[in-house]
């Protein structure tokens, strides 16, 4: 798995922090890692972007960003409004492939969800994943509504013959409600793919040293971690309704 594409069921689901956790776990396993942000929006030139945030949390990764647009919009819209060239899927694939010749693992982080448009032709992260023939990791929220967005994304991936590696819950609350607890059991069925991790809420606020030491505990062995889905589900899922 030299390239892994990371997408979310939407915005603010913990995609960047999950990318950082995957990077930290891979580094801890002795792998060299590069992180490619296809299109960064909503960040000024002097602000830290998502790829740089991954590097801050995870450690010594190669951080790359193909384009940056100031307004917090879909990349195609942000590029048009800024009067700048958009990022196209083939550019994402070419950049990731080049990084893969120099690193053991390349993490390609999208913007928002899978079908957010990069350019005026409707190019998306899914198109870049197809060009790369890379598996996709889906970051989902924990609470009510996540089953629908997870299943829709999983179906779209399969309709394009893309491999859904699994699902990671991007932010697991310290006091989960009933919907979140039930979703632990139901998410693998909605995705028809395994649950590969759950990050604690606020993980991105940890000190980098703590984040790096703890990240493998949040991810399954498939992602170089020691997290066990069965143990987590047994602990968090509610008992049957009586």
Average pLDDT over residues 105-128: 95
Instruction: Assign 148 a pLDDT band (cuts: 50, 70, 90).
Output: very high
> Which residues are catalytic, by number?
37
Q: Is residue 241 part of a domain?
A: no
Q: What is the pLDDT of residues 59-108, one digit of tens each?
A: 999 999 999 999 999 999 999 999 999 999 999 999 999 999 999 999 99
Closest C-alpha among 185, 119, 114 to residue 147: 185
**pTM, 2 dp:** 0.95
- In total, how many domains does the chain have? 1
Question: Is residue 151 pLDDT above 70, yes or no?
Answer: yes
Instruction: Assign 109 a pLDDT band (cuts: 50, 70, 90).
Output: very high
Q: Is residue 242 part of a domain?
A: no
The whole-number pLDDT of residue 1 equals 67
Q: Is residue 152 part of a domain?
A: yes
CA 48 → CA 9, 55, 63, 159, 171, distances in Å?
23, 10, 11, 35, 21
Instruction: Assign 241 a pLDDT band (cuts: 50, 70, 90).
Output: confident
Q: Is residue 183 part of a domain?
A: yes
Closest C-alpha among 240, 197, 156, 230 to residue 20: 197
Question: Is residue 173 pLDDT above 70, yes or no?
Answer: yes
Q: Is residue 198 part of a domain?
A: yes
Residues contacting residue 204 through CB under 8 Å, at least 6 positions apart: 14, 16, 17, 20, 53, 57, 211
Q: Is residue 31 part of a domain?
A: yes
The whole-number pLDDT of residue 137 equals 98
In 29-112, alpha helices (H): 50-58, 75-82, 89-100
Q: Is residue 200 part of a domain?
A: yes
The SS3 assignment for 156 reads: helix
CA-CA distance, 42 to 19, in Å (whole number)?
Answer: 19
Q: Which two tokens stand for residue 128?
A: 């870049």
Q: Which two tokens stand for residue 142?
A: 């924990």
CA-CA distance, 119 to 66, in Å (whole number)?
Answer: 13
- Among 24-28, 44-48, 182-186, 224-228, the range scoring the smallest mean pLDDT is 44-48
Tokens 């992602």, located at residue: 223
Task: Classify residue 219 by its DSSP letter.
Answer: B
CA-CA distance, 203 to 114, in Å (whole number)?
Answer: 23
CA 46 → CA 52, 65, 70, 147, distances in Å?
12, 14, 11, 37
The whole-number pLDDT of residue 240 equals 84
CA-CA distance, 74 to 118, in Å (whole number)?
Answer: 7
CA-CA distance, 164 to 125, in Å (whole number)?
Answer: 13
* Residue 205: CB atoms within 10 Å: 10
* CATH number of the domain within which 190 lies: 3.40.50.300
Q: What is the pLDDT of residues 34-65, one digit of tens each?
A: 999 999 999 988 899 999 999 999 999 999 99
* Residue 208: CB atoms within 10 Å: 14
Q: What is the domain range of residue 151?
A: 3-236
The whole-number pLDDT of residue 242 equals 56
């Amino acid at each position: 798995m030299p390239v892994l594409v990371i997408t979310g069921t939407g915005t603010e689901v913990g995609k960047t922090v999950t990318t950082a956790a995957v990077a930290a776990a891979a580094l801890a396993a002795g792998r060299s890692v590069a992180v490619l942000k296809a299109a960064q929006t909503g960040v000024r030139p002097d602000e830290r972007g998502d790829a740089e945030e991954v590097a801050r949390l995870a450690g010594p990764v190669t951080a790359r960003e193909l384009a940056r647009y100031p307004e917090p919009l879909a990349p195609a819209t942000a590029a048009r409004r800024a009067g700048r060239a958009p990022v196209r899927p083939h550019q994402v694939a070419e950049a990731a492939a080049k990084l893969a010749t120099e690193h053991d693992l390349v993490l390609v982080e999208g913007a928002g969800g899978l079908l957010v448009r990069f350019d005026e032709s409707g190019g998306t992260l899914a198109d870049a994943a197809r060009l790369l023939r890379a598996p996709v990791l889906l970051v989902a929220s924990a609470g009510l509504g996540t089953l629908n967005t997870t299943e829709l994304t999983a179906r779209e991936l399969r309709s394009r013959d893309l491999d859904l590696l699994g699902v990671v819950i991007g932010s697991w609350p310290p006091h989960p409600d009933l919907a979140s607890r039930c979703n632990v059991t139901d998410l693998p069925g909605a995705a028809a793919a395994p649950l590969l991790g759950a990050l604690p809420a606020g993980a991105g606020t940890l000190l980098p040293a703590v984040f790096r030491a703890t990240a493998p505990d949040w991810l399954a062995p498939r992602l170089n971690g020691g997290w066990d889905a069965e143990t987590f589900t047994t602990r968090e899922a509610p008992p049957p309704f009586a």
